[in-house]
Amino acid sequence: MSVETPGLNRAVGLDEAEVAERIAAGQVNDLPPRSGRTVAGIIRANVFTRINAILSVLLVLVVITGSLRNGLFALLIVVNSVVGIIQEIRAKRTLDRLAIVGEAHPVVRRDGAAERLDRRQVVLDDVIELQPGDQVMVDGDVIETDHLELDEALLTGESDPVAKAVGDQVLSGSFVAAGRGAYRATRVGADAYAAQLAAEASKYTLVNSELRNGLNLILRWVTYLLIPVAALTIWVQVRQLSVDRNQALLNLVAALVPMVPEGLILLTSVAFAVGVVRLARRGCLVQELPAIEGLARVDTVCVDKTGTLTAPGLTFERLVPVRRPGEGGPDALVPESDLAAFAAQLAATDPSPNPTVQAIADHLGAPEQPWPLRATEPFSSRTKWSGATFEPAPGRPTTLLLGAVDVLASPGSPVSQEAERLGAGGLRVLGLARSSAPVGEVRVPDGVEVIGLLTLGQNIRPDAADTVAYFADQGVAVKVISGDNASSVAAVAGQVGITGTAVDARPLPDDPARLADDMANHAVFGRVTPQQKRAMVGALQARGHVVAMTGDGVNDVLALKDADVGVAMGSGSEASRSAAQLVLLDDKFSVLPRVVAEGRRVIGNIERVAVLFLTKTFYSVLLALLVGLAQLPFPFVPLHVTITAWFTIGIPAFFLSLAPNAARAKPGFARRALSRAAPAGIAIAVCTFASYVVLRQFVSGASQKQISTACLLVVIGIAMWVLIVVTKPDEPWKWALILGGAAAYAVIFCVPALAHFFTLDVGSWPALAVAGIGIAVGVLACQVAWRAERALRTRRQASARPGD
Is 473 assigned a catalytic role?
A: no
Q: Mean pLDDT, to the nearest integer, of 158-176?
A: 80
| pLDDT at residue number 286 | 79
- Separation of first and last alpha carbons in the chain: 67
Which residues are CB-neighbours of 230 under 8 A, at least 6 positions away?
252, 255, 256
Region of 384 please: left (phi>0), alpha (psi -120 to 50) or beta. left
- Pick from 216, 205, 23, 220: which is nearest to 124 by CA? 23
Cα 271 to its chain centre, rounded Å, is 15
Region of 803 please: left (phi>0), alpha (psi -120 to 50) or beta. left
Q: How far is CA 643 from CA 59, 76, 215, 282, 657, in A?
A: 16, 12, 24, 39, 20
Q: Mean pLDDT, to the nearest integer, of 25-41?
A: 72
Please tell me which residue in 304, 484, 552, 761 is annotated as part of the active site.
304
> How many C-beta neighbours within 10 Å does residue 613 have?
26
| 59 vs 802, more confident | 59
Residues 569-602: tens digit of each pLDDT: 877 766 677 778 888 888 888 888 888 888 888 8
| pLDDT at residue number 804 | 42
- Band (340; pLDDT cuts 50, 70, 90): very high
Residues 109-129: tens digit of each pLDDT: 998 889 989 888 999 999 999
Residues 68-112: tens digit of each pLDDT: 777 777 776 777 677 667 766 776 676 566 555 556 688 999 988
Strands 565-569 and 582-584: parallel
| pLDDT at residue number 300 | 92
Percent of the chain with pLDDT over 90: 26
pLDDT reading at 344 higher than 90: yes
pLDDT reading at 330 higher than 60: no
Residues 624-669: tens digit of each pLDDT: 889 888 888 878 877 887 788 888 888 888 888 878 777 777 777 7
pTM of the model: 0.67
